[in-house]
Amino acid sequence: MRLLRSTVITHLTKPFSVVSSRHNNKFIMSKFSTPKLVAKKVLAKSQGEGDGAVVRRSIGRPELKSLDPFLMLDEFSVSPPAGFPDHPHRGFETVTYMLEGGITHQDFNGHKGTIRAGDVQWMTAGRGIIHSEMPAGPGAQKGLQLWINLSSKDKMVEPNYQELLKDDIKCAEKDGVKVKIIAGESMGVKSPVFTRTPSMFLDFTISPGAQMHQPIPESWNSFVYILEGEGLFGSMDSSPISAHHVLVLSYGDGLSVWNNGSKPLRFVLIGGQPINEPVVQYGPFVMNTQAEIQQALLDYQQCKNGFEMAKHWRSQ
């Protein structure tokens, strides 16, 4: 996905803390010594992106510019002829998780394929990639795209793909809680996905009346994005929060969620180890210094240092 605006950003490198005057009895139902609470709530509002596509951007907007190591999260909806035509990336990873329909991907190294509802593409842009992401059929094609930063030592690695079909994604279920383990671990089940930046990506569906308790490494930054329904996050005496909100979580060793409503609650829980390095971003290029950004632009314009194939390639 393209991000056309030029920005220089500084990451939130430490987990949010929450100051509260409430008594500790709010944690009676928690399974954790230090439960994660909702430190910040942001509504993802619709905006245009790419060539006629619509996205709800939660991370990467003025209210939440970044959350180390995460650079952006979009919930996208794209219908032909709109899409995300040829565009470059350098210095980070993109994770595309399809919710409805399909997206066809092509790149200048000859990689081509279509991911459909429930499938995942984990792309390491590394030193450079130019690709397109276009709707694979009529009607609205919907999904999530997450941008994950790479550390300075990994920013110039060779591009790589990990693609998981719906049937290859491991799942677990217990007491009214279902989880798809895209990355990381839940209910004792581990994903095979290799994450250069240590991270977790879990898709939960909680039945009415059920609750879930997911451990999260204390040092990681983490957040929730709600897809459907509403629920209580962090403490039982909190207010219900509904779809299209991103919830930045406080410091702690795990998250508890309760569904006291009448409809299923679906959300993704995403967490990662902070990189704690400077971040300079210019659209689809994410590096550590302004000089590296200038070099990335020069490499792209002159078709060198990872962008050699750009000179003659156009997606079909």
Report how far residue 87's alpha carbon sits from residue 4's, in angstroms, rounded to the nearest whole number.
Answer: 10
Q: Element (H or E) spanning 294, and its range?
A: helix 290-302
Closest Cα partner for 12 from 72, 65, 91, 74?
65
**Displacement of CA 245 from its chain's centroid (Å):** 14
Alpha helix ranges (H) inside 232-311: 290-302
Residues whose CB falls within 8 Å of the CB of residue 209, separated by 6 or more in sequence, listed in order: 176, 259, 260
Sign of dihedral through CA atoms 211, 26, 15, 46? positive
CA atoms within 13 A on the CB side of 14: 3
Q: Is 23 annotated as a binding residue?
A: no
Q: Is 133 annotated as a binding residue?
A: yes
Q: Is 163 annotated as a binding residue?
A: no
Q: Which residue has the tokens 């919830």?
A: 247
Q: Is 87 annotated as a binding residue?
A: yes
Structure tokens at 146: 């997450």
- Residue ranges of the annotated binding site are 87, 89, 131, 133
Annotated binding site for Fe cation: 87, 89, 131, 133
